[in-house]
Amino acid sequence: MSRKLTYDTWLFGAAMLIVVVGIVMIYSASAIIATQRFGAGSPYYFMTKQLVWLGAGALAMFLLMHLDSSLLAERRLIYLALVVVVIGLTAALFQSPINGTHRWIVTPWFHLQPSEFAKPVLIVFVASYLARREDRINELTVTLLPLLCVVILVSGLIVLGRDFGTASLLIVVCAAMVFAAGLSWRLIGLFGAAFIPAAIALVFGAAYRRDRLFAFLNPEADPLGKGFQALQSLIALGTGGFHGLGLGNGRQKLFFLPEPHTDFIFSIIGEELGFIGAALLLALFGFLAWRGLRIAQRSNNRFAFYAALGLTLMIVMQALINMSVALCLLPTKGISLPLVSYGGSSLIASLVAIGILLNLSQQTN
């Protein structure tokens, strides 16, 4: 008798609990801003939009959960998705800048951020590629250079849109997947020697990236300018203490901390829910990481192993980077807190990743 396929309910539950926390905190962090921007009758504006995107993301997640697992590894579908992502990233470069960046495709109905969808698509592509060529992983010209060209193409387009943080995250996750495939230490040293100077050149090659680095090193030097976000974030987290000020009682969202419902929502969580709330959210992401890596470990084919590994790292590393920025452990990156921060593209892309993980969890041994 064949085994009945069931998805990982623990992973699903953890992801949905994080989403619920996000919805609640988006309302708490944005109600005053929404009222100021859109009128006294609009305190639910940002929460309502997030719920609409949650519906779209949930639909995509459930479709991917129940998709035939063989279609996830279908090369033609993966290549098609990759081409669409590259076209989207290129189109974003020709859009009018928003906050000095070219990350969005603007339509009359919504703003679409192609770099968010590039993350799960590129990771699935790399998983498919490695599953087919892992036995030749240490052949530079046959295996590594073609893969490197695709990763550089996608991450390069993201950098051109002035999103260095997302590009760096993608490169690190893809590098971890290649390392898991058995890359030799000699080639690791070779690529490290090439990429470290390139990364340093990129950081210092643009004024805004240099400014972010110097503001991170010494935010007090410009407390009302480049160091403003970092200092206000620390004030929020410090004010929260161990127990927090209470849900809805935060003060930094009152036009002190810029855009508290997006990149710095973790600061508001720390202020209102305290160390306890922040630690519980971190624990949820840790639990999600365990379930995702468990899926990779128990996978019954190499594509599922690499896809589960890459998607889990994508979500968890992005969360850690966002939290580290809020704690001033890293320079400001403009990276959202997955499943929590306000933003349709980020939420839908994260739920797409969760949907694929849940699909793969049904194929574990």
pTM over 0.75: yes
**Pair of tokens at residue 204:** 């210092």
Which single residue is written with the structure tokens 């698509």? 121
Average pLDDT over residues 221-240: 87
Backbone angles phi, psi at 42, to 5 degrees: -120, 35
Give 37-73 pLDDT, tens digit per residue: 888 888 999 999 999 999 999 999 999 998 888 899 8
DSSP 213-253: HHHHH-GGGSTTTTTHHHHHHHHHHHHHTTT-S-TT--STT
C-alpha span between 358 and 304 (Å, rounded):
11
Q: Where are the domains of the chain?
A: 9-74+115-361
On the question of pLDDT at 352 being above 60, the answer is yes
Highest mean pLDDT among 2-6, 160-164, 246-250, 283-287 belongs to: 283-287
C-alpha span between 179 and 187 (Å, rounded):
10
On the question of pLDDT at 5 being above 70, the answer is no
Average pLDDT in the chain? 90
Q: Residue 359: CA atoms inside 13 Å, Cβ hemisphere, count?
A: 24
CB-CB contact of 150 with 125 (8 Å)? yes
Task: For residue 290, count other CB atoms closer than 10 A to its CB.
Answer: 15
On the question of pLDDT at 300 being above 90, the answer is no
Q: Which residues make Cβ contacts (< 8 Å) with residue 95, sequence separation at least 6? A: 102, 104, 105, 106
pLDDT for 2 equals 39
Give 121-145 pLDDT, tens digit per residue: 999 999 999 999 989 999 888 899 9
Enclosing H/E stretch for 111: strand 111-112
Give 152-209 pLDDT, tens digit per residue: 999 999 999 888 889 999 999 999 999 999 999 888 888 888 888 888 887 777 777 7
Q: How confident is the model at residue 108 (pLDDT cuts 50, 70, 90)?
A: confident
Q: Which residues make Cβ contacts (< 8 Å) with residue 106, sequence separation at least 6? A: 95, 96, 98
pLDDT for 206 equals 73
Beta bridge partners of 111: 106
Q: What percent of the chain has pLDDT over 90?
A: 65
CA 175 to each of CA 73, 76, 119, 187: distance values in angstroms, whole numbers, following the listed order: 20, 24, 13, 12
CB-CB contact of 322 with 285 (8 Å)? no
Give 304-350 pLDDT, tens digit per residue: 999 999 999 999 999 999 999 999 998 887 789 999 999 999 999 99
